[in-house]
A and B are shown apart, each in its own frame.
Chain A
């Protein structure tokens, strides 16, 4: 059974960089697409981007200038960096496997942007 677990700071200051890691267990990250998705409190779901472990990435156009997704196959992890954050980036951040549909998701981690 594939399991995903997000980790990282729950509080980030405005203008700083949000950094999260998703650790995958129960299967390799190689050969799949892995996504980051976020959900502001009380709102809908927004796809941030994904990585295919060969190195191919694709990002939401509205976030592209601030987002980097990377993978570390030796640790079976992938990561998200979002720079120059503002209060609008406050959300629950999820990592998920993307097979067209997201069949495995992490539990999500709330990141609050506040000074």
Chain B
């Protein structure tokens, strides 16, 4: 299985801050990397697919970059509704695997 490792596991930030979350794959996954946002008690929501493509309806303050094994999710200016847990996922092969999550707290 491809292991996905996120860092940090949690972070504290303020409204307006620029936030960066990293995700590392245990082997190259080309550009088959997705990011999800999950709020408490809700299903994950796809934010970004294929490293940097914004899912329809997702605000442009979210962006993604990277290739191969190292990837980044950036929130350019944190908003109150962005406090949540973020997961990366590889879709290069099966089994699909997820990072352990990064909790963004106030």
**Chain A: residues with CB nearer than 8 A to chain B?**
35, 44-47, 49-50, 58-61, 94, 96, 98-103, 105-108
Q: Would you mind naming 18 contact pairs between A and B with Cβ atoms under 8 Å apart?
A: A44-B98, A44-B99, A45-B98, A45-B101, A47-B94, A47-B96, A47-B98, A58-B94, A59-B95, A60-B95, A61-B1, A94-B43, A96-B43, A98-B91, A100-B32, A101-B49, A101-B89, A102-B89
Query: Which residue of A has the minimal Cβ distance to B45?
Result: A105
The one of A35, A94, A105, A107 that contacts B96, using a Cβ cutoff of 8 Å:
A35
* Interface set, chain B 49-66, CB cutoff 8 A to A: 49-50, 55
Report which of B43, B89, B91 forms a contact with A107, defined as CB distance below 8 A.
Answer: B43
Give the distance in Å from the alpha carbon of A46 to the alpha carbon of B94 in the complex: 12
Check if A102 sits within 8 Å of B44, measured CB to CB: yes
